[in-house]
Amino acid sequence: MSMSSLNIAQLRAQFPILQQQVNAKPLIYFDNAATTQKPYAVINAITDFYTQCNANVHRGAHHLSNESTTRFEHARDTVACFMHAANRKEIIWTSGTTEGINIVAHGIAKQLRPGDEVLVTQMEHHANLVTWQQACAQSGASLKIAPIDDDGTLNIDAFVALLSTNTKLVAFPHISNALGTINPIKTLTAQAKKVGALVLIDGAQGIAHAKVDVVDIGCDFYVFSAHKLFGPTGIGVLWGKESVLKNWPVWQTGGEMIANVTYETATWGELPNRLEAGTPNIAGAIGLAAAVEWFSQLDLHALQHHEHALLKHATEQAHNFDGLTIVGNAPEKVAVLSFVLQGCHSADIGFLLDQQGIAIRSGDHCAQPLMRRLTLPGTARASFSIYNTIEEVDAFFIALKKVHQMLI
Ligand SMILES: Cc1ncc(COP(=O)(O)O)c(C=O)c1O
């Protein structure tokens, strides 16, 4: 089905989970930054795989194995095309964003020396912070943190000032999960390249909201998780430039990733296998490709327009809500409304909204240092996706009023 503009009712009908009631109320799912729901296209692709051709890949001994291998490698082509990778070998299957970052950090830790620096930002998810802390601790390199302004925008001047020839790797999020800030990834990459640093972009939140063309961006690594792109959990992608990845230290050892093995030693295979030890998540890769195909049929401009309308409407309502403060007011942001409500704990807000069938996230959003920077224990976060509606936003604010009255 091709959708040149968004028909939200038609789109919602493709998500079986959205049809249900929670606590005797129609489900309103506003926790899309944590994970997105899955359309039939994805669910059916995974079911088809298990019902029609489940077998291990790259064994080639029988019909099912050949069919499974064909679908699995076709999935790699689909993702390579989606990200505009120069080569299919640059697509490495991972378990998700976190593993992708760990593969890169594990490799860089072997190359870093005392005096070298890794630069990240104040808005990192723990996945893109703790990994670099560990890499620096292991190698004696230093971790530098680029500050944000109070509205949640990355301070570009400060970022640039922290770059030097000592900077070996720069890592930053495409979009902040806690604040919704969209970073100028091309500009940041270009600046990092001036000092010769490798650039990793944490695309966990970016992949479902923007066009990702890795050649155009100019970075070295872009990582994401399928589950934030309407795909299954347990699968993700590390895209890396072939010239960088082909000599990258191996991550795990075992089957699939070797060239030749004796009792004494082993040599490593070629990309992408050398970074994919063991039986891969075959159904996951096929499910991710189905998600990519499904997502690619949407009109990206219509999608962005719809999500922006949801954010604008929610922001206006929030400004008129006594006691509510929005956390994250960057001029460039996606449809994430992080907020605090005077006198209310974010966990209580989440719990009481759930009683009314509304799913949001509350807490530190895996960004404790960022919360400390903002001097907040946490926030409540409503994050919208393409299947959400203005009516749901209105229902959310009516429910939030009730919650507020109960809590103060
Ligand atoms: C910005 C960002 N980075 C990294 C992650 C980690 O993703 P995953 O848990 O799928 O590995 C998340 C998850 O919320 C995220 O939002």
CA 219 / ligand 1 centre spacing (Å): 19
Q: Which two tokens stand for residue 152?
A: 């949640």
Task: Please tell me if the CB atom of residue 181 comes closer than 6 angstroms to any atom of ligand 1.
Answer: no
What is the residue extent of each domain of the chain? 8-30+299-403, 44-296
In angstroms, the CA 270 to CA 215 distance is 22
In angstroms, the CA 45 to CA 115 distance is 49
Q: Which two tokens stand for residue 21?
A: 């009631």
How many angstroms from the chain centroid is the CA of residue 203? 5
Residue 235 falls in which region: left (phi positive, over 0), alpha (psi -120 to 50) or beta: beta
pLDDT at residue 251 in the model:
96
How does residue 59 score in pLDDT terms, banded at 50, 70 and 90? Answer: confident
CA 366 / ligand 1 centre spacing (Å): 8
Closest residue by Cα to atom 15, ligand 1, is 204
Task: Please tell me if the CB atom of residue 121 comes closer than 6 angstroms to any atom of ligand 1.
Answer: no
Is the pLDDT assigned to residue 40 strictly greater than 70?
yes
- Of the residues 81, 219, 344, 366, which is catalytic? 366
Task: Please tell me if the CB atom of residue 177 comes closer than 6 angstroms to any atom of ligand 1.
Answer: yes
Q: Does residue 2 or residue 129 have the better pLDDT?
A: 129
How does residue 3 score in pLDDT terms, banded at 50, 70 and 90? Answer: very low
| Ligand 1 closest atom vs CA 228 | 10
The SS3 call for residue 394 is helix
The SS3 call for residue 247 is coil
The residue whose CB lies within 8 Å of the most ligand 1 atoms, and thus the one to mutate among 366, 381, 383, 385, is 366
CA 368 / ligand 1 centre spacing (Å): 14
How does residue 60 score in pLDDT terms, banded at 50, 70 and 90? Answer: confident
CATH code reported for the domain at 44-296: 3.40.640.10
Task: Please tell me if the CB atom of residue 32 comes closer than 6 angstroms to any atom of ligand 1.
Answer: no
The residue whose CB lies within 8 Å of the most ligand 1 atoms, and thus the one to mutate among 125, 130, 174, 179, is 125
User: Is 219 known to be catalytic?
Assistant: no
pLDDT at residue 205 in the model:
98
Task: Please tell me if the CB atom of residue 225 comes closer than 6 angstroms to any atom of ligand 1.
Answer: yes
| Alpha-carbon separation of residue 276 from 1, 71, 81, 112 (angstroms) | 33, 17, 20, 23
Q: Which two tokens stand for residue 110?
A: 């072997």
Q: Which residues are CB-neighbours of 323 under 8 A, at least 6 positions away?
A: 341, 342, 343, 404, 408
Task: Please tell me if the CB atom of residue 125 comes closer than 6 angstroms to any atom of ligand 1.
Answer: yes
Q: Which residues are CB-neighbours of 61 under 8 A, at least 6 positions away?
A: none
How many angstroms from the chain centroid is the CA of residue 77? 20
What residue type is assigned to position 41 of the chain? A
CA 405 / ligand 1 centre spacing (Å): 33
CA 97 / ligand 1 centre spacing (Å): 6
Phi, psi angle pair for 182, to nearest 5°? -95, 120
pLDDT at residue 350 in the model:
98
Q: Report whether 204 contacts 367 (CB < 8 A).
A: no
Task: Please tell me if the CB atom of residue 240 comes closer than 6 angstroms to any atom of ligand 1.
Answer: no
pLDDT at residue 6 in the model:
85
How does residue 372 score in pLDDT terms, banded at 50, 70 and 90? Answer: very high
What residue type is assigned to position 120 of the chain? V
The CATH number fitting domain 8-30+299-403, selected from 3.30.479.30, 3.90.1150.10, 3.40.190.10, 3.50.50.60: 3.90.1150.10
In angstroms, the CA 289 to CA 394 distance is 34
- The DSSP secondary-structure symbol of 51 reads I
| Alpha-carbon separation of residue 171 from 86, 120, 188, 248, 397 (angstroms) | 21, 5, 10, 17, 36
171-183: average pLDDT: 98
| Ligand 1 closest atom vs CA 34 | 14
CA 96 / ligand 1 centre spacing (Å): 8
Largest CA distance in the chain: 71
Q: Report whether 130 contacts 202 (CB < 8 A).
A: no
Cis amide leading into 272 (omega within 30): yes
pLDDT in tens, 328-351: 999 999 999 999 999 999 999 999
Residue 366 falls in which region: left (phi positive, over 0), alpha (psi -120 to 50) or beta: left
pLDDT at residue 75 in the model:
98
Q: Which residues are CB-neighbours of 320 under 8 A, at least 6 positions away?
A: none
In angstroms, the CA 291 to CA 229 distance is 7
Q: Does residue 99 or residue 3 have the better pLDDT?
A: 99
Closest residue by Cα to atom 16, ligand 1, is 177
Number of H helices, E strands in the chain: 14, 17
CA 32 / ligand 1 centre spacing (Å): 12
In angstroms, the CA 45 to CA 236 distance is 17
289-295: average pLDDT: 98
In angstroms, the CA 24 to CA 233 distance is 28
